[in-house]
Amino acid sequence: MNEEMQLMLNSSDSFISTNITRYSFKDKNYKLETNTPQTRIHFDMNSKSVPRDSVAEQPGEGEAAAVPDKVVLRNAFNISSVGTQTINHPPKDKEVNTEPIEFQEFSATVTQWEIFDEYIQDQAKLKAEKDQKKRPGLMKKGAGGAGAPGAETGGPLIAIPQVTPMPPQALSESGGGIVQDESFISSTSEVGVTAKTVAFESDPEVLKKLQVLERMTLQNTFEGISGDFKFWEDPSDPTKGDLGSLLPLWTFAPASREARKKSATCVSWHPKYPDFFAVGYGSFEFNKAGGGALAVYTLKNHIHPEYSFTFDSGVMSVSWNKKHPPYVCIGLANGVVASFDIRNFEGTLSQSKIDFIRRKGDVKGKHTDIVWSVSWEDDSAPLIPVEEDHIMYQRPSRDKKEVDKEEEEIEKKKKAAKEAAAKASGDGEGGGKKEEKDAKKPEEEDKGLEENRANGVGLVLSVGCDGRVTRWRREKERMIPTDIIILKSESKTEQETRTNEGPDEREDTKNQSTKSNTAFSTTQATQEETSDETAIVFQQAVAGCTSLDIHPTRTHLILVGTEEGYVRKCTKAYSGEILSEYLTNKKNNQPIYAAKWNPIHPRVFLTAGADWNVYLWDHTLLEPQLVFPLGSSIGDVCWAPFSSTIFAACTSEGKVFVFDLNINRQEPLCEQLIVKNTKLTRLSFSLFDLVLAVADDKGNVHSFKLSPNLRRPFKNTNPEQEIERMESVLDYADRCKQAGM
């Protein structure tokens, strides 16, 4: 109780805020008020008392100001209103009569046979007029009266022939609606008139007009698709971010009977004409193998092909000649390779009517199995030796010691090959005679190659399931094959271990093979006569080759995909030389269906097959740089010709995937279902337009246009920039491997 308590009393009000800001119109900004009033008014009332000394207390002033003076009017009314009346004009009716428009009904039908009849009659009139100008005396009146038979000159009376109408079924399915089957004979009803055959299909002017008319009809019928092909831009792309889409355009269905119920096995765009592409028809099933066909379509006519050819065997591969656009080469299921000029043939041809093909396929030296890939060989690029190629294509990160080791290995192989040739030359006198005969063969082959190059047609490379990489040259009326490389099913390392084995080990392997394989009793006698090395090589199984691709700039380098899952990089400079082997999956070897070089970057290529993955490779390294899983078997993969980082792949589930590694290096920018319950077999980018052609196992070829998000680098055509983009992708792959990703 004795403690003193100190109390502090402040005059501030807690209910008044101290951080009030108000807008100053003078300074045109907000200002903080520093002096806040602390006064609170509890009651406010105005006073009624007035001071006596104030002005308001003066007498009479307040009352006079409050009551206004009255205004005295002259009349008794305060308000006066005056009424006026306007003149309204009476309504009048005005009518105008016009003459009615005359209408005339017109109806007609336009069919193929009516158009054909009109053209026949028009050609007959023109022909009659020409004959009348040449021989004017033949059209005079006859002796029996006007128009009677028996003219004064004794010549026959010429009249316009009455052409029998042609049914629509007579139109050729292969000529795009143009008649190419039979000539039509005109008939007349007048007596004494000689009818002549009107060879309609022999007139090129009429055929050209019919072709233009047919294309105009299709363009008007499918006007929406033609407009989308030229002007469509997906408006939803800006809202999707990096994702894109494929716009369906035309669908090319098989037109000929031989192509129906067949699969579209190959698609190839023409290197010169933007709207032309070839489609091969065959079968991927061995029990359904039969005839095949080749159709050449144009984007201007998706109903009928411009050219169509039928064969006794399925067409499994096709390739156009870049230097000579009319020439095309095909690979058949019976192992035959054919090359011909499509201008020399009209209509649908059987296999016996085409040069270089026999109906039974009895071509000497042909493949013993399906020809999965063919390609024209470009001889304009210079051949570079293998050792120089290794040095030129090395990556910047590689060490110089590795390059020196590779050069030493190449020199050792050359020395070993020379020693083996010297050994073979000293076997005996009989062997020397054989060698003299065999020595002439390469010279003859070189002469044949030079003749083909001089003619300008070029050479053809092909691969088949028999493990042979074969070069075909054209000689008069046949194709002569020459084997370049024979690939074995064993890998390169396994073959090297076999050659490094001792003689005892070779004898053991030879005895084991003879005990297990009794079916090869006929070959055992020949193996005993030859050396052990040749016997072991003979017993090795060949590798089934499934794909072939030639390097775009170094034409001596080729990629060959096999059924064992190996991709082998070979060279044409040295026969039988395998430079590198790439194994896609070491645990489960699945067939390779496609191996494609990058058209812009010289070191990169893609592979795809039955293991559900697309692999990106650098051919100087033996391991894949990037792997893209797609979830199902992949039928084909191809690069876009306008970018080094864009590629597309098709799967057996009917989907198409489009990747752009410059934007997204892990996921596709477009994943689109093309056809339900249908396997997609092949796809190919157009070399000129933004169009992607996709083939399926029902024989249809679907065309699509790329949306803007899928063709961003199309305007940048500088190859150096494209190479830099791919180099950044390879650097990204190196960083991922170093990080253990």
Q: What residue ranges in 588-625 does DSSP mark as E strands?
A: 592-597, 604-609, 613-618
Q: Which tens digit of pLDDT belongs to each residue from 632-671?
A: 999 999 999 988 899 999 999 999 999 999 888 889 999 9
Amino acid at 603: R
CA–CA distance, 416 with 414 (Å, rounded to integer): 5
Joined together, the tokens standing for residue 673 give 């279902």
Identify the pLDDT of residue 76. Answer: 59
Neighbours of 160 (CB within 10 A): 14
pLDDT at 359 over 50: no
Reading the block at residue 455, the tokens are 């003619």
Buried b (16+ CB within 10 A) or exposed e, 325-345: bebbbbbbbbbbbbbbebeee
Structure-token pair, residue 718: 């500088």
| Residue 281's pLDDT band (cuts 50, 70, 90) | very high
Beta strands across the sheet bearing 670-673 = 634-639, 646-651, 655-660, 670-673
pLDDT tens profile 65-124: 555 666 665 565 666 666 777 888 888 888 888 888 888 888 888 888 889 889 999 999
382-422 tens-digit pLDDT = 444 444 443 333 344 444 455 466 667 666 766 776 676 66
Which of 446 and 560 is assigned the larger pLDDT? 560
Buried b vs exposed e over 96-129: b needs ≥16 C-beta within 10 Å?
eeeeeeeeeeeeeeeebeeebbebbbebbeeeee
- For the cut 70, the answer to whether the pLDDT of residue 248 exceeds it is yes
Q: Are 467 and 543 in contact (CB under 8 A)?
A: yes
Q: What is the pLDDT of residues 412-433, one digit of tens each?
A: 766 776 676 666 555 444 444 4
- Strand spans (E) along 61-185: 184-185
Q: Give the count of beta carbons closer than 10 Å to the beta carbon of residue 478.
A: 14
Pick 578 or 203 by higher pLDDT.
578
Q: What share of the chain is helix, strand, coil (3-state, %, to 5)?
A: 30, 25, 45
pLDDT at 35 over 90: no
Q: What percent of the chain has pLDDT over 90?
A: 22
List, as one string, the DSSP characters of 189-208. -STTPPP-EE-GGG-HHHHH
Contacts of 284 (CB under 8 A, 6+ apart): 263, 265, 681, 697
In this prediction, residue 673 carries a pLDDT of 93
Token digits of residue 374: 């063919």
* pLDDT at site 97: 84
pLDDT bracket for residue 286 (50, 70, 90): confident
Please give the pLDDT value at position 695.
Answer: 94
- What are the φ and ψ backbone dihedral angles of 27, each rounded to 5 degrees? -85, -10
Extract the tokens encoding 252: 């090319």
* Mean confidence (pLDDT) of the chain: 73
pLDDT reported for residue 235: 84
Q: What is the pLDDT of residue 318?
A: 94
Give me the DSSP letters along 503-544.
HHHHHHHHHHHHHH-GGGHHHHHHHHHS-HHHHHHHHSPBP-
- pLDDT for 71 equals 62
- Residue 612 burial by CB count (10 A; 0-12/13-18/19+): exposed, middle or buried? middle
- The DSSP H or E segment spanning 265 is strand 263-269
The larger pLDDT score, comparing residue 396 to residue 681, is at: 681
Comparing 42-56, 217-231, 690-704, which segment has the lowest mean pLDDT? Answer: 42-56
Closest residue by Cα to residue 179 from 152, 211, 153: 211
Q: H-type helices in 107-203, by residue range? A: 112-134
CA distances from residue 129 to 49, 115, 181, 671 in whole angstroms, order as listed: 130, 21, 28, 63
SS3 212: helix
**C-beta pairs of 167-174 under 8 Å, 24+ apart in sequence:** 167/113, 168/111, 168/112, 168/113, 171/112, 172/347, 172/348, 173/255, 173/256, 173/257, 173/304, 173/308, 173/348, 174/255, 174/256, 174/295, 174/304, 174/305, 174/307, 174/308, 174/347, 174/348
The position carrying tokens 């336009």 is 110
Q: How confident is the model at residue 219 (pLDDT cuts 50, 70, 90)?
A: confident
Query: Which range among 49-63, 259-273, 331-345, 539-553 has the greatest average pLDDT?
Result: 259-273
pLDDT, position 685:
94
Task: Write down the pLDDT at residue 681.
Answer: 93
Which helix (H) or strand (E) segment is 680 a member of?
A: strand 680-685
Kind plus residue range of the DSSP H or E element containing 9: none
Q: Taking 70 as the threshold, does the pLDDT of residue 727 lie above it? A: yes
Q: According to the model, what pLDDT value does residue 341 have? A: 85
Rounded average pLDDT over 557-584:
84
219-233 average pLDDT score: 88
**What integer pLDDT is reported at residue 494 of this predicted model?**
57
520 has pLDDT over 60: no
Mean pLDDT of 355-381: 69
Q: What is the pTM of this model?
A: 0.62
Confidence grade of residue 702 (pLDDT, cut at 50, 70, 90): very high
**Average pLDDT over every residue of 244-273:** 90
Distance, CA of 719 to CA of 723 (rounded, Å): 6
pLDDT digits 0-9 by tens, 288-309: 778 889 999 999 999 989 888 8
Range in 4-8, 149-153, 561-565, 677-681 with the lowest mean pLDDT: 149-153
- Residue 550: pLDDT band with limits 50, 70, 90: very high
Tokens of residue 186, six digits: 């005109």
- At 559 the pLDDT is 92
